[in-house]
Amino acid sequence: MFFNLRSFLTVSFLLFSIVTLKAQSPSPTPPTDRGLGIQGPSGSRSTQTDQQAREQKPELVLQTGYNSMIGGTRYLFSPDGRLLATGTVRSTTIKLWDTTNGRELRDLSPGGLSAPSLSPVFAFSRDSRLIAGAAGMNSVTIWDVVTGRELHVLESATTGTFSSMMGIIFIDFTSDGRLVTIGDAIRVWDVATGSQLRSIAFDATSMPGFVTGGSGFALNADGSQLLVVSNSDGKGEIHSLDLATGREGRAIKLSDDDVNSGEVAVISNGNFVAAGIVNKHLKLWNVSNGTNEKDLGPTSKEYSLIRFSRDGRLVAFSDNYNARVWETATGRELTQFAIPHGDSFNSGFNEPMLALSDDGKRLASGGFDTPTLIWDVATAKQVLRLNGRTNMAYSVKFSPDGNQLMSGGRTRWDLRTGRGLRTATGIPPDAFGWPSPDGRVLSLMRLNSNTVTVVEAPSGRVLYTLAPGGNVGNVQRIR
């Protein structure tokens, strides 16, 4: 497995762009004990205990859900299709959503700072009862999905290497109760006990999928082999690694050129499909006895997100807010989605993030400057729009009397009771607000706009719209 400098520089540029946004991205949200409305074998903590804890002291929580400008940057359906897990930049919080009604069910947060990736990395167990997610740099937490109870924290000791600084970049469960993680090393864990079964040295990877929030890795059906899309000497290849022995198997050549945004999925024992961008063309390879290549058409970028269904039957791709889905066996295009978006985020890396359900019937989309949506693949119709609690904590300050805290532009907190109130109603999702010291008015601005709107709080009634006499550029700051 080889390191590709161009991919690494691309990652660094993207991360630098994200970190230096004027409006900060969501911070980790404390874990909650909200139930999923599903009766589980372990039960949950009693409501009496929770009520006593709330009565002891006010509890202040900054809500940091997703807005339409910086939305989710990683999506994953549970195998049974009942849940959608999402993550976003600069946060270790993993949100769980009910896919039948779009309700946000639970936040799972191991705390600490997220690794320098596009979002937490997470995976559901094959029976949909557990979820594992990256915590901090090189640790992984496993939770019970129904109760939210933390079962294990899997810690690795190695630090200081390039791979350890990148944090966990891949997680997946096997069908027989093991967990495979890739970070400072490839590690295999026993899920029941949380003990490490083996560790395989791993220095770096070419990361053709990681650049766009993918991974470029896949496990075969029984979890005995790990497949890796990589670039070696300017050629795209797939390598197989035996997880029992740590020995690398043969390399299968995909292309005479680098493969960008590479992803791989297993379709049957010994057979798999891979997809990637080669010279701005989306290529699909079916690898069985030989390597059958299909050209699915030109792309506008070198790097865009590619997602397979778990069984490898379908592949989805996003390019310029247009998502497409193909059947991998035939290369036949099934449908296209025009994903709605605004124009407030212009970084050059503004492709939607995608996920296909295991049965291939639904697709989730979201990301920068676009809401989180669930689509019906057969009809290309929107099924749900997921709206969670949103209040980006880009600006926090106390009221003059010290009794209130203004968080972002949407919520003010009564520090005497811990009660949170919306600053004003009807605030557009892509607007940033700055409340006056007395909290009676709110100034609103949008990115790429040269006007400021002043609204009354809490009614949201527009009082003034301030605009310059000529085209003098965009609003940079509100004082």
Let me know whether 292 and 415 are in one domain: no
For the chain, the 3-state helix, strand and coil shares in percent, each to the nearest 5, are 5, 40, 50
- Give the CATH number of the domain where residue 30 resides: 2.130.10.10
Q: In this predicted model, what pLDDT tens digit does every residue of 160-218 receive, in sequence order? A: 555 555 678 899 999 899 999 988 889 999 999 999 999 998 765 445 545 555 688 99
Cα R_g (the chain), whole angstroms: 23
At 65 the pLDDT is 52
Give the dihedral sign, CA 227/5/118/148.
Answer: positive
**Distance from C-alpha of 240 to C-alpha of 234, rounded to nearest angstrom:** 19
Dig out the tokens for 44 from the structure.
Answer: 């949950």
Let me know whether 311 and 352 are in one domain: yes
Strand, coil or helix: what is 37? coil
Q: How far is CA 97 from the centre of its chain?
A: 13
Let me know whether 174 and 208 are in one domain: yes
- 419 vs 209, higher pLDDT: 419
Dig out the tokens for 401 from the structure.
Answer: 């009397």
Average pLDDT, rounded, for the chain: 77
Dig out the tokens for 441 from the structure.
Answer: 């008015």
Dig out the tokens for 194 from the structure.
Answer: 């949380």
Strand, coil or helix: what is 211? helix
Last residue of a domain, one of 386, 416, 444: 386
- Give the CATH number of the domain where residue 402 resides: 2.40.10
Dig out the tokens for 27 from the structure.
Answer: 């911070």
Q: In this predicted model, what pLDDT tens digit does every residue of 321-353 receive, in sequence order? A: 899 999 999 999 999 999 988 765 555 556 788
**Distance from C-alpha of 453 to C-alpha of 468, rounded to nearest angstrom:** 12
The per-residue DSSP string of 358-388 comes to TTSSEEEEEEBTEEEEEEETTTTEEEEEE--
Domain that holds residue 130: 5-386
Domain count within the chain: 2
Strand order in the sheet with 441-446: 431-435, 441-446, 452-456, 462-466
**Distance from C-alpha of 162 to C-alpha of 3, rounded to nearest angstrom:** 11
**Distance from C-alpha of 229 to C-alpha of 238, rounded to nearest angstrom:** 5
% of the chain at pLDDT higher than 90: 34
Residue 434: Cβ within 10 Å count = 20
**Of how many residues is the chain composed?**
479
Let me know whether 179 and 326 are in one domain: yes
| Residues in Cβ contact with 227 at an 8 Å cutoff, skipping those fewer than 6 apart | 217, 218, 219, 220, 238, 239, 240, 241, 264, 266, 272
Judge contact between 404 and 398, C-beta under 8 A. Answer: yes
At 471 the pLDDT is 61
Let me know whether 343 and 365 are in one domain: yes
**Distance from C-alpha of 105 to C-alpha of 120, rounded to nearest angstrom:** 18
Let me know whether 409 and 368 are in one domain: no
Name the band, by pLDDT with cuts 50, 70 and 90, for residue 287.
confident
